[in-house]
Every structure is written in C-alpha cells, then in structure tokens.
Structure 1
Amino acid sequence: MTDTILYSDLSAYYDLMCADIDYLAQSNTAHRLQHIFGNQGKNLLDLGCGTGPHIRHFIDLGYHCQGLDLNQAMLDIAQRRCPEAQFSRQNMCDFTISESVDVISCFLYSIHYSGSIDNLKSCILSAYKALKPDGMLCFNAVDKNKIDNNSFTRHSAEQDGSQFIFSSRWYYCGKGEQQYLKLSIQKTTQNTQQLWQDEHTMVAVSFAELQNLLSPYFEVHIFEHDYEKLLPWNGQSGNALFVCTKQ
C-alpha cells in the first residue's frame, strides 16, 4: 500500500493517530518564537498541514493562515476545520505562493518528507523565497545519528465503536540519506481486526548537516524538543526544534 493511499484511506483517522500530540503547545511556542526571533508579522504558511490542527490554533492566535499538503483528503478536512484559511495541494519541496509570509511552520517532523538531500535543499530555498524580510522558519527534526531503531511510540484511541492502536518508529540503517518512518495501525470493530502497515521514505540528516544547509539563508537557533520551556539544544538529544530567521 503506497504512502498516499494509506493516508487517503485513513484521513478520517489521522487526528486519532496524532491524538497524543499537543498541537496547542506547539502553536503557542511558534507564536512565542516569532516574537523573539521573527518580524512579529501575522501571515503564516504551514507546510505539510495535514488536517489543519496547527492552523486552527494559529488562527485563534490572530494569524492569517495558509496551508499546503500533498493529500487532498487531508486538505478537505483542514478546510472544514479552518474555513478562514487558504489551502493548496502542493509539494513543500517546490511550492509557490502569491504573497510572501512572515512565518513558515512545519511540525510533526514533516520536513523529513522531503525524502532526499536535494529535495530538502529545494524545500529550504522555497521557504526562504516565500518569507518576508526577517521572517521565521520553524520546524522540528530528528538527527539520523541518534535514532534508536528499537524505540517506538504507541497509543490507543476509540471512535464510533472501533478501537485503534497506533504505533510508529524511526529506522536508519547507519548510512545514506534516507531513513524510514514505520507505521502500524490496528482497528478492531466487533472482534473484527484490520491492520495497516506502511513504511515512509524520509530524508536522513544530522543536525550539523541540517544547520549547514540552512546557514546560507538563515540565522539558525536550535532548541531542545520541549514546548513548555525554551532551552538551547544540549548537543546530545536526537530531537530538536529549529528556529531560522531569514537573513
């Protein structure tokens, strides 16, 4: 089953799959960072917006929002959730917008969906071109050299009489520019089980490599992956928040 088919088929369950994510905390953190490192503007673009939960919170914070994603089923849900926003089906590695924005966000490690270093470079350049002077690019990332292939996350949820178990983990073989996001979704309805398993090709990059890719265009700040308090990255943890101000 391909990536697009899985996400299209399960778009109605996507919010359940991400039920343990604190979208409000992430959006509030980006808002705070925009006041510290950005230009304080209120025009925002969310890359890989999915069903639009981040955009909903940004709108409530007073932002004028756009979102883009490759999956139309996700975008349809996002448009219903955020009728005030504008959405477009585009690849974040090669996108265009009619007017530049003040903030570009890309959470849930979606920057890795670039898939390759060349595509990641194109994504960074597209974001740079789309930002106003002193605009801010904010995203989270995982360092390929710090991935534990045996570590995984799992949570359960219930919807319309069905029980779901969602699990995911990163996998990196130790060389090359591709890592993988492995997903498993189990649905049980009246003792009948359905199981989806998929593997998404993601770009593998170290934080040092990522900073080198960003530095020609941005002033780069790296923080611990903590949405409650802003702490400089300690150089050891494998997840981090990147805050990039357009030069």
Structure 2
Amino acid sequence: MSHDANFLTDNPELYEAQFPDADRLAARFVLDMLGRFGGGRELLDVGCGTGRDAACWTQHGYDVTGLDNSPRMVEHAAARCREADFIVADMREFDLGAVFDVVTCLDSAFLYCHSNAELDSFLDRCRRHLRPGGLLVAEMRNGSFFLGNTELLDGPRERTLSWEGVSYHSSTRLWIDHAEQLLRRERIWDWPGNPRPLTQRSAWRLLFPQELRHVLEHAGFEVLALFDEPGPRTEPAWQPGAELRDGLAGDRLHLIARTVP
C-alpha cells in the first residue's frame, strides 16, 4: 500500500508543532513498560514518525530501527537521529530480514490496519520480527470509549497553529463509520495565501478490549497488560511507576503482549 500525501506527515516540523511532546512522555512510557515487563535492547518502532522517540531510546542504550510509510518522515527522522536506522515501508507488508526484542506501535498507528486481514498481516509481521518471548508495546484509541460517549463527536474542533511566521487554521471533524467499524476524520486546512482550503481524510479501526485480546491471542501473543490509564496521552499524564488501571473505558488503550511458542 503506497504512501498517501498528508499535510502533517509531509511536513514533519509542522507535525511536531501540532502534536508536541517536549517531555518525551511517549518514549519514557515505553521505557517504563520495558522496565516492568522485561525486554532486550533491540527495538523496532513501527510508525516511527519524526524519530523523536527513537532519539530518546538510543540515548538510553537501545539499538533502534524505525519504520514509517512516509518518506518525508523517514528522511527527517534519519537526519535527527543518526544513531538509529530508518526504513520506508508499509506496516502491513514489511519484511526486514531481522529480528528484534521489542516492537513498538504508538499513537494509534496500530489502527491504520482497517480490515481483519490487515490486522492479521501486521501482527504476523510483528511476530516474525520478534525473538521468542519478544514484546509488543502498543498505544491506541479505545473503541469502548465511543459506546455512548460523544465527547469527541459533538462538533468540529477549531485550531490555529503558528509555524515559521504563518498561521495555519484547521477544522477537524470526527465521526463513526459503524458499518466499517472505523473512526473517520476530516481535517480542513487554510492559511494566508492558500488559494483554496486543503481537505484531508483519514480513519482508524475501532477495537474493543476483548476483541483486541482475541486478535492478539489468535496471532500468537500472550497479553500481559491491557489498560486505559495512565498513558502518555491521558489526563492525568503517565508518571514513572504509576499504577496501571484497567477500567478500559478511557479514550486510550495501552497494550503489552509477548510472543508465545
């Protein structure tokens, strides 16, 4: 599956301005999970984006390979973190000819697998690229959050972002495609000098916790932990050593799984 042009992922600096993580909460969250559940030093980051997480992990002694389907993101990540390797590839089809101790898949990248076949293919790729007993660490939106909860669906979200002296305005609308079990997003961008607004659409698969457990177990993984709070994108935000709460009703799901024979 080829890379589709995307205003944010094709402009990595703008992406980081839109989604800042100055405290490196996402990367430090993974370090905490690896400290709790074990795992070696060779790590594959699927959906590596701008490479800011990889840069943090290499500073902590990890041997990191990053994978993303956006050439611009991979180019940016390679320039930012020369200690890691970065590869342009599709998460549903990659074959690196290598094995790792850990596979990470953060910020709902897991949910770009829209169909059951794509989910199975991605998890098969993960398993093939993990050593026996290797860990999968994932963080994603929680399908259960949308059962009767319209907090994110009650109207467009307006935002203005200043970047390199230009004010970019975005209007973002989310809705649920029940037939396809997808959370769909339409984001309209406009900025001074732009001849006409730029409309971009994307979607994420919505998975319920028990459904996710079943998919993982069918793919040959043992689920070690599945919880909603705390995490790098929850309120309150995760802190090292925080107790994991498995109410499984929050906006985010956090998954730790291990390959089994």
TM-score normalised over the length of structure 1: 0.86
**Retained in 1: the 8 A contact 2:103–2:135?**
yes
5+ long unaligned stretches in structure 1 = none
Match of 1:114 in 2: 113
* 2:222 maps to which of 198, 216, 219: 219
SS in 2 for 1:83: coil
Structure-to-structure mapping, 1:2-21, within 5 angstroms: 4-7=4-7, 9-19=10-20, 21=21
1:105 equivalent to 2:104? Answer: yes
1:206 and 1:73, CA in 2 relative to 1: closer, same or farther beyond 3 A?
same
* 1:203 maps to which of 198, 202, 205: 205
1:177 equivalent to 2:177? Answer: no
Q: For residues 209 and 12 of structure 1, what CA distance do their matches in structure 2 show?
A: 36
5+ long unaligned stretches in structure 2 = 232-237
Match of 2:235 in 1: none
CA RMSD after TM alignment: 2.5
1:106 and 1:83, CA in 2 relative to 1: closer, same or farther beyond 3 A?
same
Structure-to-structure mapping, 1:87-102, within 5 angstroms: 87-102=86-101
Match of 1:235 in 2: 248
Of 231-240 and 50-59, more deviation after overlay is shown by: 231-240
1:101 and 1:18, CA in 2 relative to 1: closer, same or farther beyond 3 A?
same
TM-score normalised over the length of structure 2: 0.82
Q: What is the CA deviation profile of residues 193-236 of structure 1, one whole-angstrom value per residue up to 9, with x for unaligned ones? A: 86432111332322221111002322211122423234232032
Instruction: Write the letter of the residue equivalent to 2:189.
Output: I
Match of 2:124 in 1: 125
**Retained in 2: the 8 A contact 1:116–1:177?**
no
In the TM superposition, residue 159 of structure 1 has moved relative to its aligned partner by 2.0
Q: For residues 168 and 109 of structure 1, what CA distance do their matches in structure 2 show?
A: 17
**Retained in 1: the 8 A contact 2:137–2:257?**
yes
Q: What is the CA deviation profile of residues 175-202 of structure 1, one whole-angstrom value per residue up to 9, with x for unaligned ones? A: 333331333434347xx68643211133
**Retained in 2: the 8 A contact 1:116–1:204?**
no
Instruction: Write the letter of the residue equivalent to 1:199.
Output: R
Instruction: Write the letter of the residue equivalent to 1:78.
Output: A
**Retained in 1: the 8 A contact 2:92–2:122?**
yes
Instruction: Write the letter of the residue equivalent to 2:222.
Output: E
SS in 2 for 1:31: helix
